[in-house]
Amino acid sequence: MAYSLVSYPDPRLKVDHSKPIRFFDYRDSIDIAFSIMEKAMAEEKGLGIAAVQVGIHLPICIVGNIYMINPKVESLSLIYEDALEGCLSCPGERIKVSRPKEVDVSYINTKGKKVNSKFNGLYARCFLHEVDHIRGKLIKDYSAN
């Protein structure tokens, strides 16, 4: 399955796709999207990817080996950490971003079940980075802060 990474300044990266979808209404599209995203993430050696980064406008992402539909931040830790972040859609750039060290999340898994989980460290950062993509926000948006 072919894919093409969507790169900055493509305006599709700035569109908010965070409106939740009904899993069973989009099941076939989600399976195809995850297959494309998985291939792109592996080839680009990314830790995570959001559907919008391959031109698919669904609120889904992959973080590590976790496939998420309608990912949602439930709560954030009050302890923040600064780190340089890269992005598949902003090749060659690394921008300092301050993010919470822990995040409680919920999402729908590929079987249609709601999952509650907690991420910390690099995976919390990656989750928040991918949720930013779903909301139309890029690491470049942090550079003015």
Give the active site residues: 130
Tokens of 62: 């992959």
Give bridge partners of residue 126 from the DSSP assignment: none
For the beta sheet containing 114-120, the strands, ordered from the edge strand earlier in sequence to the opposite edge, are 48-50, 60-63, 66-76, 102-108, 114-120
Distance CA 117, CA 9 (A): 33
